[in-house]
Amino acid sequence: MTDGYGIDNLPYGVFSTADGGPRVGVRYGDQVLDLAGALGDPAFAAPSLNPFMAQGRARWTEVRAQVADVLTGGRAALRPLSDVRMHLPFEVSDYVDFYASEEHATNLGRMFRPDSEPLLPNWKHLPVGYHGRSGTVVPSGTGIVRPSGQRRPPGQDVPDHGPSRRLDVEVEVGFVVGTPSPLGTPVPTGAFADHVFGVCLVNDWSARDVQAWEYVPLGPFLGKSFATSISPWVVPLEALAGARVPTPPQSPAPLPYLREDDPWGLDLSLSLSLNGQTVSRPPYASMYWSPAQMLAHMTVNGASLRTGDLYASGTVSGPAAGQRGSFIELTWGGKEPLKLADGSTRTFLEDGDEVTIGGTALAGRVSLGEVTGRVLPAVPS
């Protein structure tokens, strides 16, 4: 049984074993193909995907066909997944996080600006985003220490300092850049597949109380930069070709540099679980801005791409209550606690909580894997 990891998928990751250091592999069912041994390219002996991703789209396509041939020809030396340790799959060069879900942006606008329009005037004209911190992107399974920072609780005139009381998650999809671009040269929407190697799952951990106090006027900073978790397997963009769908109608029409002749919306089914219980199923197909539009906006000022750049979609949320991709939405800012099967409730995360984000495409034929993290107590200051 391949269970979402068959020939249709063939995701890439970095693994190590008791007899060898980190190198590149492809997951096939519950096994891993060691690419350095199978194909002989020294790029696969590296402890990250970066050397391979830098080879470009034609090479990605060639290797995918070679891997499929090796696997279907019965010539593969496979290692059980249970015998390997997974690592961060690529060296993260830069990290950008967007805010591309209309439902998520609308929900937060209604919470924070109840007497105003929920969407700010720029939202439907450009993919809003912020530049994050690449050095705190961590692999799935890494414990997340509860962050501390300045907070100003309701009714308090001055801020205090301490552990976040409103620790949250964000269900997101990440896009991994393989082919760089020159400084000063924008990347058009039509060149998306020439630059983006693949897709991973992202949990953009968020300290909502720290974020609320600090984000005016320059946006997210310490409330976001303490940790971002990603899944261990990067699904090649080619594996998701059959999951492409149109983006929702965009009105007003985007400016010319954001228009797509062949839109890159994606029909992905996501899930959010807390301590083993699924609490939400966000649908990626409803995302207003596509990843090609995000890439075009990210580079329209001439900013260059580097191999290993990661950019994420922002929280994925759907129109129904059970499709919201963060606890701030699921509990409506903490006013409507989430009831769990064991009788407990949550507004935001408690120490010891374990969060898992999962995803599939093409009716489960392609698995996006999972990204998991457990909340650890704050470090005393």
Active site amino acids: 104
Residue 5 host element (H or E) = none
> Residue 45: CA atoms inside 13 Å, Cβ hemisphere, count?
7
The residues near 81 (Cβ < 8 Å, ≥ 6 apart) are 27, 30, 31, 32
Q: Which two tokens stand for residue 307?
A: 């191999």
Which of 35, 30, 29, 38 lies closest to 13 in space, CA to CA? Answer: 35
Q: Which two tokens stand for residue 108?
A: 């937060």
**What DSSP state is assigned to residue 116?**
S
What's the rounded Cα separation, in Å, for the pair 281 and 270?
Answer: 5
State the greatest distance between any 2 C-alpha atoms of the chain, in Å, as a whole number: 69
Q: Report the SS3 class of residue 11.
A: coil
The residues near 346 (Cβ < 8 Å, ≥ 6 apart) are 274, 327, 331, 337, 338, 340, 353
Position of tokens 């029409």? 253
Position of tokens 């997210």? 220
**What DSSP state is assigned to residue 267?**
-
